[in-house]
Amino acid sequence: MELRIEHLAKTYPNGVRALNDVTLTIPRGMFGLLGANGAGKSSLMRTLATLQQPDTGRVTLGGIDVLGEPDRVRQTLGYLPQEFGVHPRASAEELLTHFAILKGITGRRERREAVERLLRQVNLWDVRRQRLGGYSGGMRQRFGVAVALLGDPTLLIVDEPTAGLDPAERVRFLNLLSELGERAVVILSTHIVEDVSELCTHMAIIDRGRILLEAEPLRGVEDLRGRIWRRIVDRDALPGVERSHAVVSKKLLAGRTLVRVYATTSPGAGFEPAEPELEDVYFCTLAGHDAGAPALVEVA
């Protein structure tokens, strides 16, 4: 099963063009959608989750017309938005049972077994009777995943799932998503490059509603080999470097600045070749470096 998105466009009443001719093919497994805040990620996720209709375009999941058959899609859809509310006085077991009823799991035994299985899967069974208001951010995220997994969805959409999580919770959460990707289409919408680098076999970069790149992360990194260079410069020399080179990123390092630049040949004295990273792919794509080379930027 795969998700096919064809020529989606969406302009809001205030004139903001959130989606601009978005075309993607998303296979089973983990798919990363990278973009800054306001790039169009959430608009695309809401459209795929049948929460809004696009102005134009088509979406199919296997043999299902996602836009034309929203009720049918919702039977096989799990959605974890960036922000979701929980009743702070309810326990995880109580609220998940309530959501299971809404999902159509009406048999008491079937519902009880589904709730237990999901709470064990997200490692919340031992605290199932604790009030959700006392859960940590990571625990609430895992509860959100349990809700999204009701009904064994074949399409799971998670929007900025690791924002605000501590490192340990982030690792546990990403491991859980990785397991889910073995049997479903899982779309991870995020601005955190590391999440995509560690998890996803396919990815896309979106900016101002347009897909700039659709690729395999490892292939995208490999296509930059020999084109990323690094140099440590003093702070007062940084403006000159930025004027004369295509700076990809810069980081403070012991009072000086580590600069990474894009160049097809050596950019000059003091620079040394650097091992490319997915973050370089992201920034190079946004900057349009080598935009004419299909190996780096493939405009959908």
Which pLDDT belongs to residue 291? 38
Which backbone phi and psi does 126 adopt, to 5 degrees?
-70, -20
> What residue type is 114 in one-letter code?
A
152 torsion bin: left (phi>0), alpha (psi -120 to 50), beta (else): left
The DSSP symbol for 278 reads H
How many angstroms separate the CA atoms of 132 and 111, rounded?
20
CATH 3.40.50.300 matches 2-88+144-215: yes
Which pLDDT belongs to residue 209? 96
Contact 238, 250 (CB under 8 A): yes
Which pLDDT belongs to residue 192? 86
Which pLDDT belongs to residue 85? 76
Rg (CA), the chain: 22
Token code pair at residue 15: 């004139």
Question: Under DSSP, is residue 136 helix (H, G, I), strand (E, B) or coil?
Answer: coil
- Ranges in the chain, pLDDT < 70: 164, 290-300
pLDDT (tens digit per residue) in 202-213: 999 999 999 999
Which pLDDT belongs to residue 107? 92
Which pLDDT belongs to residue 274? 96
Token code pair at residue 167: 């490192």
Which pLDDT belongs to residue 265? 94
Which pLDDT belongs to residue 51? 94
Which pLDDT belongs to residue 290? 57
How many angstroms separate the CA atoms of 262 and 256, rounded?
20
